[in-house]
């Protein structure tokens, strides 16, 4: 069976050009970067060259880029550092965040390390900026604001510059989970008032198990993982060298291809949305689908019926890979927390499906999925 893969927000296929630069570090270039002899020096140089590449593309300083195991570790590092090292005693977030954020802030609040507030949402699932300012203005404690740049389930984009300006106005620390946007949009970190962002290589045709944490040079934090002097004493553990060089190469390729790939993928999203509206009049598009939204993500709810209840399962049996929400919670049987939040608990009558696209997808694949949906529903 030829499978159709429409779950690129969960992970993307590794680009062959990325694999090519990784292979030497899986074979002959096996040295430990902490070693002083030639094997170690060549791998250490590869890491620092990758760091410079990432910093150049994101318009940051190389000293502000740290390599981690992925977005979850980066988020945990940033939020724990904001409480432990930067004096924050109040956390502001939204109910739509990835569980890497939500579970971390809930733990910090549950253990008494910080007070937790949730910003209100607009009717389309965006952050209510006026309420965010109200929460900041009335907070007696120093605050860390953690809001994702793009929602991984519904695709809504944050007004990241506006949030950064508010955080500067009220002396708050700002962390933004940018896992869905690093590698998909241009970044100018010197022009943003943000203290932490994170990225994950597997979201833009790089390897899994490698991510970055950007730490603004104007703040000082301590390591989250202790045990060695790697990453300039900021993250202990022998470096994932092939992952690091793969991340940098994938980010290079994504940047070079941005104009053509983003136009192609956005066209697929809009084409599928049009076909869905044409053939399934009872559907609901979740989030700000045709406004300020990721060009890679299309989230739609089908009315709950006997035929649609097992839609995800039946699509999978037909060789079509889609999801009901975040890959990190796809084993759960209930509707995702994001869909529940934007529909005010009225999600029990819906079957939400997230379609997410990459440069490898085609309109012919969209047509095949539409035909299969018509058959199943």
List the chain domain ranges.
4-12+257-370, 16-256
Listed range (48-62, 181-195, 248-262, 297-311) with the worst mean pLDDT:
297-311
Grade residue 334 by pLDDT with cuts at 50, 70 and 90: low
Whether residue 332 has pLDDT greater than 60: no
**Mean pLDDT value of segment 102-126:** 97
Binned at pLDDT 50, 70 and 90, residue 345 comes out as low
Q: How sure is the predictor about 148, in pLDDT bands with cuts at 50, 70 and 90?
A: very high
The answer for residues whose C-beta is within 8 angstroms of residue 232's C-beta and 6 or more apart is 63, 66
Burial 79-104 (b: 16+ CB within 10 A, else e): bbbbbeebebbbbbbbebbbebbbeb
**What is the structure's pLDDT at 2?**
86
**Residue 333 clears pLDDT 60, i.e. is over it:** no
**For tokens 């940047």, what's the residue?**
255
pLDDT at 307: 84
Give the confidence band of 330 by pLDDT, cuts at 50, 70, 90: very low
Query: Measured between alpha carbons, how far is 184 from 7 in angstroms, rounded to an integer?
Result: 15
**pLDDT score, position 344:** 79
Long-range contacts of 304-309 (CB under 8 A, 24+ apart): 304/348, 304/349, 304/350, 304/351, 305/377, 307/376, 307/377, 308/351, 308/376, 308/377, 309/351
328 in catalytic set: yes
pLDDT greater than 60 at residue 327: no
- Tokens in use for 254? 């994504």
What's the average model confidence in pLDDT over 246-263? 98
Taking residues 9-17, what's their average pLDDT? 98
- Please tell us whether the domain made up of 4-12+257-370 is placed in CATH 3.90.1150.10: yes
Q: Which of 88, 167, 321, 328 is catalytic?
A: 328
Phi, psi of 90 (to 5 degrees): -140, 130
Say yes or no: domain 16-256 is CATH 3.30.428.10. no
Residues forming beta bridges with residue 140, ordered by sequence position: none
pLDDT score of 191 more than 50: yes
The chain-wide mean pLDDT, for the chain, equals: 95
What is the per-residue pLDDT for 326? Answer: 61
Which of 272-281, 312-321, 325-334 is predicted least confidently? 325-334
Q: How many CA atoms lie within 13 A of 317 on its CB side?
A: 7
pLDDT, mean of residues 201-229: 97
């Amino acid at each position: 069976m030829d499978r159709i893969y429409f779950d690129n927000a969960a992970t993307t296929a590794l680009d062959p050009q990325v694999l090519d630069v990784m292979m030497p570090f899986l074979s002959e270039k096996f040295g430990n970067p902490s070693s002083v002899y030639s094997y170690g020096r060549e791998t250490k140089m590869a890491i620092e060259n990758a760091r410079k590449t990432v910093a150049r593309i994101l318009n940051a300083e190389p000293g502000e880029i740290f390599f981690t195991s992925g977005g979850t570790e980066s988020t945990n590092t940033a939020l724990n550092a904001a409480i432990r090292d930067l004096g924050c005693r109040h956390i502001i977030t939204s109910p739509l965040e990835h569980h890497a954020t939500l579970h971390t802030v809930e733990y910090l609040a549950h253990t008494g390390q910080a007070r937790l507030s949730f910003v209100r949402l607009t009717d389309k699932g965006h952050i209510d900026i006026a309420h965010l300012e109200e929460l900041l203005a009335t907070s007696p404690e120093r605050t860390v604001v953690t809001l994702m740049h793009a929602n991984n389930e519904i695709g809504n984009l944050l007004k990241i510059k506006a949030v950064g300006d508010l955080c500067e106005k009220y002396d708050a620390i700002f962390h933004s989970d940018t896992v869905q946007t690093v590698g998909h949009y241009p970044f100018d970190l010197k022009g943003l008032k943000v203290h932490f962002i994170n990225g994950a290589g597997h979201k833009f045709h790089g390897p899994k198990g490698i991510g970055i944490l950007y730490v603004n040079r104007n703040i000082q934090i301590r390591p989250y993982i202790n045990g060695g002097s790697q990453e300039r004493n900021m993250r202990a553990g022998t470096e994932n060298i092939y992952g690091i060089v793969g991340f940098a190469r994938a980010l290079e390729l994504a940047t070079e291809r941005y104009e053509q790939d983003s136009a192609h993928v956005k066209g697929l999203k809009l084409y599928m949305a049009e076909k869905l509206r044409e053939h399934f009049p009872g559907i609901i598009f979740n989030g700000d689908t045709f406004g300020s939204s990721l060009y890679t993500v299309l989230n739609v709810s089908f009315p709950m019926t006997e035929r649609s209840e097992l839609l995800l399962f039946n699509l999978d049996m037909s060789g079509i890979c889609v999801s009901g929400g975040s890959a990190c919670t796809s084993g759960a049987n209930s509707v995702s927390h994001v869909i529940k939040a934007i529909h005010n608990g009225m999600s029990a009558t819906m079957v939400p499906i997230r379609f997410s696209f990459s440069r490898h997808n085609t309109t012919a694949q969209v047509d095949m999925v539409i035909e299969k949906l018509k058959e199943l529903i």
